[in-house]
Amino acid sequence: MNASETSADPAQRAAELRTRIEDANYRYHVLDDAAIPDVEYDRLMRELEALEASYPELLRSDSPTRRVGARPAEGFAEVRHAQRMLSLANAFSDAEVGDFVQRIVERTGNAQPQFSVEPKFDGLAISLRYEHGAFVQGATRGDGETGEDVTANLRTIRAIPLRLRGADWPAVLEVRGEVYMPRAAFEAYNAKARAEGGKVLANPRNGAAGSLRQLDPAITAARPLAFYAYAPGDVAESELPSTHSAFMTRLRDWGFPVSHLVETAHGLDGCLDYFRRIGAQRDALPFDIDGVVYKLDDLGLQRELGFVGRTPRWAIAHKFPAQEQTTRVLAIDINIGRTGAATPIARLEPVQVAGVVVTNATLHNADQIRRLDVRVGDSVIVRRAGDVIPEVVRVMPELRPSESSKWQMPTHCPICRSELVQEEGQVVWRCSGELICPAQQKESIIHFASRRAMDIEGLGSRLIEDLCDLGFVASVADLYKLSLDDFIEMKRRADERDGTTPETVKAGKVASKWAENLIEAIDHSKQATLERFLFALGIEHVGESTAKVLANWFGTLERIRHMPWPLLKLLPDIGGEVGRSIDHFFAQAGNQRVLDALLEHGVSLKDEHDVSAKLAARLGIENFLVQLEIPKLTELRAKQFAAVGQSPEQLAELPSHPLISAGLPADTVAAWLDWHADAANATLYQRSAAAWNALRELAASVSASAATLPLEGKTVVLTGTLSSMSRDQVGAKLEALGAKVSGSVSKKTDFVVAGEAAGSKLDKAQALGVEVWDEARLLEYLKGQGA
């Protein structure tokens, strides 16, 4: 230590050191100035620490040495934001930005509105609260209303001032901004972690988010995080200047880092020009961005324009197109799905695309490959569609190796060697092995056990694969035969096969606990709802929605499994194709045996019910099913055939046919009679008798229709993440009120419930002018309905 620097008074010296350290932070983070060298900075810190250690009375909570504090006892406390944290609407094209600007021009009457424009940082949004110039609390966005208190972690970020500079700040100041990890720091951190065998971070954004959620601030302190401020939070209106850009200047004066890329722009042209300039620099920037943000500069006008749902009308994020990368196709494999669909998959040389390493990309189908002319060995451009699923955009033919040949769909299933066939007029190729193909068996069992079907916890794809490969199960019914010992034996053999250390033998207790849990989960799944069970069966074309239709309209498994397709076809959303597929499934003796076995092993449906009056009306039961018994129908068929010859087409022409006058579509009647004419359907015809009789009996006791529900006839779409309930739970509640919950937005949608991080569906709703409810509105409504 240099004697000339050493002040005689320790208190004075401590203050001096703090000022120098804070200045160094300010100059480095806010002014982008070459600050003092690291060694010098470290020396100052050590000196201050030593001083504070010898004179504890000098300690202050806002000292730079106190950035790393104690860890919170458990988890993070919740923080209610004094002012809601916004999320922005997204624009992906110039036209969408044009619409946005146009709306503002119309509402404000200003032809060239001024915008404050800035890069959109790819990090984590946070809110910082200062009282009397001191940093008191910081929180994540959370759902916008309530976030997590990460004050201790934020204190460790040197770019965040612990005390404001100057003196003209408001008594209470909340500032919004983005915590991010600079690319260089991210690389350096990972290089070090790799060298030391530590955990590497996936990408700068995950790095920032993960670091802030560390319970131990010491860990956060070791992560190279930075911060940019970009908006006011809870600040008295009287304390704000008249424009956003003026506020940004003030933030910088108070000691907050504000990006130097922030500018003002005029009108649409100014915004788009800024977008292109930033786009051109994007790769050269020291941090990741995913677009730019335009904010109407006049704060008074901002207040006037207000919000639509949870997004402001006065700001929008203009996103860059999904990031693209080039890589090489190592191989094109075929994957066999649950229904036998053969999907080609490109195995790629690992490449970073928009932050994650991509090694596989779907090629969808043979047509797609032909269109793109993808060949093994090709260099291709890969992008993440909607920033999630990787896809091959195009081939770079100039980089194609000299001897390459067009890719051809294999003729046989890679798993069971059965022939691959393409149905007339369809794009997909399918493995013809059906029930004997191990790939299809596995996939259908995986589907059966999956969360949205029978929800057997712990029974995932890995485990099912082993169970199948080692011969413990071949059908879903076998799952219910498995014993504790089976699981342990299976695990032992799997370990043996893989040559892995049989940890489970060492720890026999662990293995048996694991197996017990599985048995328990399988047992638990025996109590299923009819709709989930039907969905779990994996009938082609029968997804969750169609399963629900079947369950609601027919009410019992017994009826459904014996229902002939002309009757299935009468239900909404079930046409010829789907009806035939259901019929085909139940017509196969193997499937009926599996069903019987499942029931025998104790699978039972807890919500079987009698069909509603609606069903009776739909089927016209009173009109004709009651009157027409099966022998009568046969007799009728014979008569009609005799009357009009053998052609069902001609039969369909007859408007006077009793079935037609009973309200059935003519082609249904024709199909029904035609179906009966086929001797191969005789067995099914016999079985269907049970269903007919049940329906007929029911028709006799049809009562008045149920009271109408508040949301009857309304179509609702859910999107984004809701904080208080899962989307499924919300869906169930809305359905209980009579609403139909659909997956896609259209003009017919009555309203969209948008949670946090809502994506394209919200955009579409806004584009179509569909009503949008935020979570608060939804909860209020549900409360009002007593749900």
The residues annotated as belonging to the active site are 120
Q: Which is nearer to DNA, 326 or 368 (CB)?
A: 368
**Site for DNA contains 748 (CB under 7 A):** yes
* 188 alpha-carbon distance from chain centroid: 31
Q: Taking CB under 7 A as the rule, does residue 713 contact DNA?
A: no
* Residue 264 binds to DNA (criterion: CB under 7 A): no
Nearer to DNA, 161 or 340 (CB): 340
Per the structure block, which two tokens stand in for 709?
A: 């529900």
Structure tokens, 532: 């989930």
- The size of the interface with DNA (CB under 7 A), counted in residues, is 59
The least CB distance from residue 602 to DNA, in Å, is 26
Q: What is the dihedral of CA 669, 670, 674, 677, to 10 degrees?
A: 60
Structure-token match 């003519």, residue found: 666
Using CA atoms, how far residue 767 sits from 96, 752, 756, in Å, is: 9, 12, 19
| Interface mask toward DNA for 551-590; x: CB under 7 A | ---------------------xxxxxxxx-----------
Which secondary structure element, helix H or strand E, spans residue 277, and what is its range?
helix 267-281
Residue 541 touches DNA, criterion: CB under 7 A: yes
Q: Which helix H or strand E contains 346, and what residues bound it?
A: strand 341-353
Out of 59, 308, 385, 700, name the contact with DNA by CB under 7 A: 385
326 binds DNA (CB under 7 A): no
Phi, psi of 765 (to 5 degrees): -60, -45
Stretch that binds DNA, among 114-122, 334-342, 404-412, 592-600 (CB under 7 A): 334-342
- Beta strands, E only, 423-472: 429-431
Task: Give the chain's end-to-end CA distance (angstroms, integer).
Answer: 70
User: What does the alpha-carbon distance between residue 682 and residue 672 come to, in Å, rounded to a whole number?
Assistant: 13
Q: Does 323 bind DNA (CB under 7 A)?
A: no
Measured distance CA(371)–CA(705) in Å, rounded: 54
Site string for DNA, 462-501 (x = CB under 7 A): ----------------------------------------
For residue 677, the tally of other CB atoms under 10 A from its CB is 12
Please identify, using beta-carbon distances, which residue of 243 and 365 lies nearer to DNA. Answer: 365
Q: State both tokens at 498.
A: 């893989």
Cα angle for residues 83, 85, 87 (degrees, 5° grid)? 145
Q: In the window 63-82, what residues touch DNA (CB under 7 A)?
A: none
Residue 433 sits in the site that holds DNA (CB under 7 A) = no
Residue 337 binds DNA, judged by CB under 7 A: yes
Confirm or reject binding of residue 742 to DNA (CB under 7 A): yes
- Rounded CA separation 405/332 (Å): 13
Measured from the CB atom, the residue of 696 and 727 that comes closer to DNA is: 727
Q: Which is nearer to DNA, 290 or 486 (by Cβ)? A: 290
In this structure, is the dihedral angle defined by the CA atoms of residues 479, 485, 488 and 489, taken in order, positive or negative?
A: negative
Window of 248-256, 611-619, 728-736, 738-746 that interacts with DNA by CB under 7 A? 738-746
User: Is there binding between residue 427 and DNA (CB under 7 A)?
Assistant: yes
Please, which of residues 91-130 interact with DNA by CB under 7 A? Answer: none
CB 468 within 8 A of CB 443: no
744 binds DNA (CB under 7 A): yes
Compute the distance between CA of residue 735 and CA of residue 548 in angstroms, rounded to an integer.
12
Q: Does the footprint of DNA cover residue 270 (CB under 7 A)? A: no
Give the one residue of 63, 87, 245, 339 binding DNA; rule: CB under 7 A: 339
Q: How many helices (H) and strands (E) does the chain have?
A: 32, 26
What is the 3-state composition of the chain as percent helix, strand, coil, each rounded to the nearest 5? 45, 20, 35
Tally the residues of the chain: 787
Using the minimum distance from each CB to DNA, give the nearer residue, 430 or 559.
430
**Residue 612 near DNA by CB under 7 A:** no
CB nearer to DNA: pick between 228 and 535: 535
Nearer to DNA, 457 or 540 (CB): 540
* Three-state SS at 583: helix
- The one segment of 168-176, 289-297, 357-365, 509-517 that binds DNA by CB under 7 A: 357-365
Site for DNA in 198-257 (CB under 7 A): 202, 206
CA 116 – CA 218 distance, rounded (Å): 37
Residues 496-525, mask of contacts with DNA (x by CB under 7 A) = ------------------------------
- 540 is a site residue for DNA (CB under 7 A): yes
Between residues 13 and 532, which has the closer beta carbon with respect to DNA? 532
Asked if 364 is part of the footprint of DNA (rule: CB under 7 A), the reply reads yes
Closest by CA position to 311, among listed 646, 783, 765: 765
Write out the residues near DNA by the rule CB under 7 A: 202, 206, 335, 337-341, 343, 345, 356-362, 364-365, 367-368, 385-386, 388-390, 426-428, 443, 540-547, 572-579, 715, 740, 742-749, 759-761
